[in-house]
Amino acid sequence: EDQVTQSPEALRLQEGESSSLNCSYTVSGLRGLFWYRQDPGKGPEFLFTLYSAGEEKEKERLKATLTKKESFLHITAPKPEDSATYLCAVHSSGSSASKIIFGSGTRLSIRP
């Protein structure tokens, strides 16, 4: 059964303290892995799509990487405005557009 697990559930960092969020997945075949950012009271906002192991994408202080079993969202020198919940989702091969599975998210808090 396809599964997506994110860790940790919550992470508190000091401003400037770099760290990584993890997304482990088990799917029959990966067509795409997505990262989203969700602010309180708002809908998820698309960040990245990764398609194959070894791929990396960057946006400001965020960098997403992908291996055959997991993805990492690295945050470098975070600022308080980076505080949000980060969601990971996977689309598996052999399935329709409906089969996009979301993890429960990592709640990131950056203290000034």
Partner 1 sequence: NAGVTQTPKFRVLKTGQSMTLLCAQDMNHEYMYWYRQDPGMGLRLIHYSVGEGTTAKGEVPDGYNVSRLKKQNFLLGLESAAPSQTSVYFCASTLLGADGGYEQYFGPGTRLTVT
Contact stretch for partner 1 (CB under 8 A) within 18-26, 46-54, 62-70, 76-84:
46-54
Q: What does the alpha-carbon distance between residue 52 and residue 4 come to, in Å, rounded to a whole number?
A: 16
Report whether 93 contacts 78 (CB < 8 A): no
- Neighbouring C-beta atoms of residue 6, cutoff 10 Å: 21
Q: Which of 21, 25, 91, 110 binds partner 1 (CB under 8 A)?
A: 91
Q: How many residues bind partner 1 (CB under 8 A)?
A: 23
Does 62 participate in binding partner 1 (rule CB under 8 A)? no
- What is the x/- site pattern for partner 1, positions 5-44, by CB under 8 A? --------------------------xx-x-x----xxxx
Q: How far is the CB of 99 from partner 1 (least distance, A)?
A: 9
Two tokens, residue 53: 């192991």
Asked if 28 and 92 touch (Cβ cutoff 8 Å), the reply is yes
